[in-house]
């Protein structure tokens, strides 16, 4: 079951990346497979503003913090 951090990340990504491109699908797969390192790697391939990039990095940080609590 997805925790709140991964749900928040997926919702944010879907709002920002409205078209389901292969790049977005790979990022979603990294989240679904509980792989924050891959998500961080893929994040660098997106053309986000500094504010967007900072926000998604915070979401990934929260995801990583909550991984140990499951």
* pLDDT of 2 over the 60 cut: no
Tens digit of each residue's pLDDT (9 = 90 or more) over 33-57 = 989 999 999 888 888 889 988 988 8
Nearest by Cα to 63 from 36, 26, 32? 36
* Model pLDDT, residue 1: 38
30 vs 51: CA distance, rounded Å: 22
Q: How confident is the model at residue 19 (pLDDT cuts 50, 70, 90)?
A: confident
Work out the angle at residue 38's Cα, subtended by the Cα atoms of residues 12 and 59, and round it to the nearest 5 degrees. 30
Domain borders along the chain are: 4-67
By percentage, how much of the chain surpasses pLDDT 70? 93
Alpha-carbon distance of 4 to 32, in angstroms, equals 13
CA distance 36 to 59: 10
DSSP letter for 47, please: -
């Amino acid at each position: 079951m997805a925790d709140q951090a991964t749900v928040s990340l997926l919702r944010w990504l879907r709002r920002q990346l409205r078209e389901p491109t292969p790049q977005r699908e790979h990022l979603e797969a990294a989240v679904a497979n509980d792989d924050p390192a891959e998500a961080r790697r893929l994040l660098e391939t997106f053309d986000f503003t500094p504010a967007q990039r900072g926000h998604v990095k915070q979401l990934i940080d929260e995801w990583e913090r909550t991984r140990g609590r499951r």
